[in-house]
Amino acid sequence: MTPEERAFAAELQTPVGAEGSGRRRYAAAMALNQAGRLSDAALEVYRICSPRDHEDPAVLLALRGLAGELPPISAPAADIALVRLVDETDRYLASLSGPGLGETRAGLSAWTRAAPQPVDRLPNAVVDAWLPRALGLLAADRPALAAAIGDAAPHLTWITYDLYAPETIGEAFRLNHAFASLVGEEMAPFTAQDYDLGLFLIAPDVLYRDHRHAAPELYAPLTGPHGWRFGTGDPVTVLPAHAPVWNEPFRPHMTKVGSEPFLCIYAWTRDVNAPADVIMAADWPELEALRIGPAATAAQ
């Protein structure tokens, strides 16, 4: 089976009941049929079930004596989880509005056409401590995305970034964050060139100090509220979950995590290998001490 066929096989196993799942299964079935991996009779079953997200095609396949076709097109569990996360990420980004989203989604589509490749799975204490809580919060209003992240998380390489100088980035951030690339040049299951999209997690109350970089960057926060500012000395603005932030190249930005863990989808759409620089600010001690509760909505 080619990488493309493996990707379609994973999509064919989209969970029954997920919004739009019938159409996604049918599209994958058409691709597998054209590749000679699925019969015309089985394709017709997926066509019939395509408008019915809650109907399992396996039932009708069995009734028509076609159940034996499924094992040859099965995909590894990791592939299924990763393809599903790509699909749910794109659906989530499509529900948002603001700059950078079109550019981000175009890159996501361009670099996820082949099947995912296995990556190293590294233990990460930050993920163990805070990802379950963040996903519990996300599940309240985005259950499909929360489930997709939870299923895919064990198949990603989670890293606590250590290239910032400890004395400039701060000990709290250095020890209490993790990120995982889903689509990117290194340690990502979907390989890309000069593009990086993944998940970013920070523990509660941590300050991600003022910094900037050449890469244009999208933050799509999945939890909130959290504090932001876009210039040293500027006031902190508190934003809720699902309020995307787009940083133009070299735009200073800072994040102050609220009382709940910060989980977001991030994307660098170009210049991904250029390093980030910390911008020194005199008010970091006050910002480290700042606490943003769950009901905060205004500038601090």
Give the model confidence (pLDDT) of 122-156 as tens digits: 899 999 999 999 999 999 999 999 999 999 999 99
Given a cut of 90, whether residue 3 has pLDDT beyond it is no
Domains along the chain?
A: 3-75 (no CATH), 101-289 (2.60.120.10)
Mean local confidence (pLDDT), 83-107:
95
Which residues fall within 8 angstroms of residue 234, CB to CB, at 6 or more apart? none
Residue 178 confidence (pLDDT): 97
Given a cut of 50, whether residue 300 has pLDDT beyond it is no
Question: Helix 3-12 to helix 21-34 angle, to the nearest 10 degrees?
Answer: 150
One-character DSSP codes across 225-293: -EEEESSTTPPPEEE-TT--EEE-TT--EEEE--SS-EEEEEEE-S-TTSPPEE---TTHHHHHH----
pTM: 0.83
CB atoms within 10 A of CB 17: 12
Task: Please report where in the chains the tokens 């689509």 appear, as a residue.
Answer: 183
Give the model confidence (pLDDT) of 246-259 as tens digits: 999 999 999 999 99
Residue 298 confidence (pLDDT): 45
Mean local confidence (pLDDT), 168-173:
93
